[in-house]
Amino acid sequence: MPDWNIPFKLYIDACGDGLGAALHQVQIINEKPTEGPICYISRQIKPTEARYGEIQMECLFLVWAVEKLQYYLDGSVFEVITDCNAVKSLLNMKTPNRNMLRWQIAIQKYRGNMYIVHKAGNIHKNADGLSRWALANTPDNPAYVPLEEKPHIPIEGINIIDIGKEFFEEVRESHKQDKNFQILTSLLDKDCKDTSLVNALDEAWKNSYSERRFRLFDGIIYHRTKHSCVMKLCS
């Protein structure tokens, strides 16, 4: 049983397939200080998390572990033991990454009670084993995190315009008459990386190309305006 007057130790680890956490506490047993487990949790990572880099994965994991064990940790002093140095700076990290910023905010309430310590991986094989043989991320797992659902976007109306083939042929022909369109077609057709072609574009076109705002479809170039997902026909 946990003793709420004694600090906890939270060992965390993440591997390619799973996350694992071991919550320990040093208690006096038979007149000797003895470290023992309070709780173990683990889960397999979600498909979206599989794309995270090592630092993101470890920081995500710290937030997940603290949130799942908040029953023990809220209002308690605890030490986090990790083999990832970057986790130590999560509380004060300056980052433009949206996920990292959200996780940073999520653990601010533990500031002053949570101390993050870096130790080599062989020091905490308990958490390492949990992450390597993690439980499935299913609702029957107490450490379960739901999969992201695709947002439902209601369609309020559809406007269909019948445009003949002649229109698109005229657009293709007009593209052939313009230097920038010719260069973009060459760059986009086979995902060409020729920097000399890129540098030959006019400055505004070059900037849009570097921001990946052009798309080539069926021989016609479309352009996406900044901060929008709508593709418009270039003319």
Band of the pLDDT at 10, cuts 50, 70, 90? very high
Output the pLDDT for position 197: 86
N residues, the chain: 235
Half-sphere exposure of 106 (CA within 13 A, CB side): 17
| Coil vs helix vs strand at 78 | strand
Mean pLDDT of 30-58: 84
pLDDT in tens, 101-151: 777 777 888 888 988 888 776 656 666 667 777 888 888 898 888 876 554
For residue 60, give the 3-state DSSP assignment: helix
Q: With cut-offs at 50, 70 and 90, classify the pLDDT of residue 155.
A: very low
Reading the block at residue 196, the tokens are 């000399």
Tokens 């309430």 appear where?
Answer: 109
What are the residue ranges spanned by the domains of the chain? 8-132, 165-233
- Give the model's confidence band at 23: pLDDT under 50 very low, under 70 low, under 90 confident, else very high: very high
* Helix, strand, coil percent values for the chain (each to nearest 5): 40, 25, 40
pLDDT, greater one: 232 or 181: 181
CATH ID of 8-132, from 3.40.630.30, 3.30.420.10, 3.40.50.2000, 2.170.150.70: 3.30.420.10
**Bridge partners, residue 117, by sequence:** 81
The pLDDT of residue 12 is 86
Arithmetic mean of pLDDT over the chain = 79
The proportion of the chain whose per-residue pLDDT surpasses 70, expressed as a percent, equals 80
pTM of the predicted protein model? 0.57
pLDDT of the residue at 77 = 93
Token readout for 127 is 């958490």
